[in-house]
Structure 1
């Protein structure tokens, strides 16, 4: 069975909604999804503490990263997780696993893409293989990938509902694609 982990932080629930959409897409392609929401209680004196999570991630075929964009990058809670992954890095435990990412921000020009770029760099340091969105805006219809990001899901918070339906649809596609590419 294909095994995909989604590791993410969500403060207001919109990143959680994106994670659920990604999971839904992966599950439609027969993947077993392990979703891990980083909590404040996981961080002790500024450091992420959950060795069991890193053991589980070593057994996954893919890891999808998610965080809201704060001040042009991932939330500190996600960054604490990334910093704590150094032992996995030194032993190359994630080598050749697929990786992808998603983020959401409150401004269309708030350097939101830089968070996904950070995830890409993190994945590259771990010798992972990056999976982006396989269709630019309009290719699959006007209701897809509305911000035209190719590196991953870049969403813009909807003040009415939190998560815009087009962003949710794009997140579903990312989950599908990652699951489709697992061999």
Structure 2
């Protein structure tokens, strides 16, 4: 089972989250994560279409997704939306911003609507919000994994709790995708 993690990262913080999501995916037996950084330029549309699930990630800039992720969304119209190449695939999302809240929910709503337009099945975070900065889902997102990064290099931020929440999301998506795969067998 292959799960693509399509993401943009301006300063390395969202890429660090994508790597944590991938680690979570690979905790599930038979699941393999493929990172698809949009900064690499070309997108392997066929490989994404062949995935069992797709997890989208973007930094939150000025209350919404990055311009590069928006371009990916627009480019997907001819490649994936018209042929409905992602229909019935499991989807999820994650985001990161400098502010603790920073309108990250708007980014996740944007990613969820994008997935819905492609006929995908959205998977959120099923964790009650943490009560401290050390607990999973400390920011309290239900729609996807949210992270906050200080104005510091990606080597030191986002913090452990946010990275663990991202890994949890990856594992959850892999488990849900595996349930669907068993149903098709």
Give the alignment's TM-score, normalised by structure 2.
Answer: 0.88
Instruction: State the alpha-carbon separation in 1 of the partners of residues 139 and 130 from structure 2.
Output: 10
Gaps of 5+ in 1: 43-48
Residue in 1 aligned with 2:172? 177
Aligned to 2:36: 36
Contact 1:158 1:164 in 2 (8 A): no
Residue ranges of structure 2 left out of the alignment (5+ in a row)? none
Structural mapping, 1:104-143, within 5 Å = 104-138=96-130, 143=135
C-alpha distance after superposition, 1:83-108 (max 9, x if no partner): 10002111110000000000000112
CA contact (8 A) 2:87 2:119 kept: yes
**Which residue number corresponds to residue 144 of structure 2?**
152
Instruction: Give how far 1:134 is off.
Output: 1.0
> Which of structure 1's runs of 4+ aligned residues deviate more than 2 A?
none
State the distance in 2 between where 1:170 and 1:137 align: 11
Match of 1:65 among 53, 56, 60: 56
- RMSD over aligned CA atoms reads 1.6
Asked whether the 8 Å contact 2:125–2:144 carries over to 1, the reply is yes
Equivalent residue, structure 2, for 1:12: 11
Q: How many residues align?
A: 172
Per-residue Cα deviation, 1:42-62 (whole angstroms, up to 9, x for no partner): 2xxxxxx54xx1111110000
